[in-house]
Structure 1
């Protein structure tokens, strides 16, 4: 914006004091900013001082040269934001807090205004007002440019950091342990690692939602992953290594996991679901993470297949079921016992619920929302088709083994009506 001759004269008079004003800021006024005193001396004396000097001189020189009417085509006007953007990106890479960086720019503008006021002569008050307005407009552009450059660099650094952490989790889950001990620092110094496995959970469904419902929009999945990460970080008191996608995820928590049911509730709340099944297995160290992840995944599969209540499951919770689900010489014959009811998911689902409810017909009826006589009729029909009687101890054991082996083969889930 063009300035009056008086404003240009005031700016030109102050230009001679630019170096002194820069030193005053870098080694005087800025020292009172929270966190500034702890910065390295070379950063203050060289980089910050040079940046301040550049900003002060550029503003005053442009103000001194600002005519009332545009002079037509000519040399390009110097852009102070270019250096500010470069320094902002550098400060982000060095870890300077954004609030300290912005405070330094705001304080610099305040000191420059004081310099203008000190050099204002009687009768030049209107010129000071003009330059004050120009300074405020320049500061608006500077703060926007600095913030954008800082955040862009910070986002790039954070993206690279997250990518390295995800790559580390992938390697550990694949059984590849980095040779550099420093790469394992996020696992802490506990030695053992709790490997947590989560199912695919539809995010943002609200109270009353169940696992397996809804779609997995990429944005929703990222939001759910963010909420899960926050809940895990609060539990561990540190940044937890995680790897989440629409199929579920893994989390590597340092040390043994305590109060797992409370963690499961927090994770369910984070996902916005009423209930959440998850499983954990402990690894003795980084080299055991891959095996622990496989065990936890199998425990989770079995716990859900057997109708276990929601919560965090361990191998000890499903020892018998785990053993029954192991393939062996008799697996094919046991699995074939269900062939007669293979096309009746209502019967298979009812039997599964019956076993999960301790073979209580009333509890099963309540779980399925049907009359107890309906449960009896379905169980009788199941027995007629398969020869298995899940109301007896031996029949229940064989039925459970057959269901677990059937699930191992990846059969479609049973949906009782």
Structure 2
């Protein structure tokens, strides 16, 4: 029976039996399995970059055993026509290599180089009249290697995804515990200072109708930018609005942080940072950064990096008290006029510079004057009086605090 009369073997399915000559050639090569596996694990694979750094037991025991199993499985399947569908062994080993951190390219090359060495062994054993038999086994070997490499790569990547998700959730759990001031279970408590960041994405990111996939990509990019900026995997709890970041052992954000985050989250990003003296101080720092971001947004400070010193007066004015409700009520006549509220906020942020206010709102300065006059008529506040200006600013801040403004 010639090669053309046989169906193409398919590793992973029940193969058609190879020709008797091909089966005989495979059977003659089987006694070399142990020696071939040792030579691969401690010779052939050594040429791979990074292989020499693997632990000795991994090379001498586990990789050698995998090579031995693969060679014997192929040769016996070729010799007696048994099924070649035992991919679970290779998938389990691939998951183990992923957990150990062995690079995927290195793992896959052990399989491709192993297939080449097996082919060379078959070629050395083959006699002058076994050219057709060798061709059959070569084609079967290519098919087998293709199926095994595919299964190995899939299993490795699945395990990596699972491990990454597990590490991510562990970091989120630790971050939540620190931010909430709860006991940290199953992880070491940071010893020393902790930097706490509050991030708020712009309104376009929050209300722009991002799909779940797009949102996940945004959060991954932000996490990656944070990791690059600090040179480590930072602890973060982020969602579509933003969130908090906890970085143990750091007291100041790196200078390039803002730029890296702008590249990933856009120019509307707001960021505030505060150092906690200990892990127990993290909740206070988190509350402070949230408030600084909120106050900066409420009083019209442009997006960027916000410090408490930059909004110190506004922060003080935004603290609730028994008089807060009465102060907020001063703006009640503007409830149905959002354009007047925006004008008031922008005008106060621009230190009552009508031209700067007009430029930011794309209005003529005269239109700004008309709006300011209407605000004064409706509220009774005199925006030329420093006391009334302070009341207007406090009213804006307290009003937005009640509304939960975080943009």
Range that drifts further, 229-238 or 331-340:
331-340
Number of equivalent positions: 391
Shift of 1:5: 2.6
What do the CA deviations read for 1:346-400 (whole angstroms, capped 9, x no partner)?
Answer: 2221111110111011111111111111111111111111111223322211110
Partner of 1:183: 188
Do the aligned residues in 1 keep the contact of 2:205 with 2:240 (CA within 8 Å)? Answer: no
SS in 2 for 1:17: helix
Partner of 2:108: 102
Q: Counterparts of 1:69-84 in structure 2 under 5 Å?
A: 77-84=83-90
User: Does 1:138 find its partner at 2:144?
Assistant: yes
Do the aligned residues in 2 keep the contact of 1:351 with 1:390 (CA within 8 Å)? Answer: no
Q: 1:409 aligns with which of 377, 402, 405?
A: 402
Partner of 2:52: 37
Shift of 1:88: 1.2
Shift of 1:343: 2.5
CA distance in 1, matches of 2:369, 2:353: 11
Partner of 2:347: 354
CA distance in 1, matches of 2:406, 2:371: 18
Shift of 1:49: 2.1
Do the aligned residues in 2 keep the contact of 1:264 with 1:277 (CA within 8 Å)? Answer: no
Partner of 2:300: 307
Do the aligned residues in 1 keep the contact of 2:206 with 2:240 (CA within 8 Å)? Answer: no
**Structure 2: which 5+ residue stretches go unaligned?**
1-8, 10-16
SS in 2 for 1:36: coil
Q: 1:173 aligns with which of 153, 176, 179?
A: 179
Q: Counterparts of 1:284-363 in structure 2 under 5 Å?
A: 284-363=277-356
User: Does 1:383 find its partner at 2:376?
Assistant: yes
What do the CA deviations read for 1:307-337 (whole angstroms, capped 9, x no partner)?
Answer: 1122110111111001111111322222222
User: Does 1:158 find its partner at 2:164?
Assistant: yes
Range that drifts further, 37-46 or 317-326:
37-46
Range that drifts further, 381-390 or 192-201:
192-201
Q: 1:257 aligns with which of 237, 252, 255?
A: 252
CA distance in 2, matches of 1:52, 1:412: 61
Q: Counterparts of 1:45-124 in structure 2 under 5 Å?
A: 45-66=60-81, 77-124=83-130
Do the aligned residues in 2 keep the contact of 1:335 with 1:403 (CA within 8 Å)? Answer: yes
Shift of 1:342: 2.5
Shift of 1:413: 10
What do the CA deviations read for 1:29-52 (whole angstroms, capped 9, x no partner)?
Answer: 223322323333333333222221
Range that drifts further, 309-318 or 338-347:
338-347
SS in 2 for 1:279: strand
CA distance in 2, matches of 1:212, 1:8: 65
Range that drifts further, 21-30 or 354-363:
21-30
Shift of 1:80: 3.9
Partner of 1:232: 226
Shift of 1:217: 2.4
CA distance in 2, matches of 1:39, 1:340: 73
CA distance in 2, matches of 1:335, 1:132: 83
**Structure 1: which 5+ residue stretches go unaligned?**
67-75, 203-209
CA distance in 2, matches of 1:412, 1:296: 14
Do the aligned residues in 2 keep the contact of 1:211 with 1:276 (CA within 8 Å)? Answer: no
User: Does 1:28 find its partner at 2:43?
Assistant: yes
Do the aligned residues in 1 keep the contact of 2:343 with 2:372 (CA within 8 Å)? Answer: yes
What do the CA deviations read for 1:4-34 (whole angstroms, capped 9, x no partner)?
Answer: 3322221111112222212222222223322
Relative to structure 1, is the Cα distance of residues 413 and 317 closer, same or farther in structure 2, using a 3 angstrom cutoff? closer
CA distance in 2, matches of 1:250, 1:198: 6
Do the aligned residues in 2 keep the contact of 1:280 with 1:296 (CA within 8 Å)? Answer: yes
SS in 1 for 2:273: strand
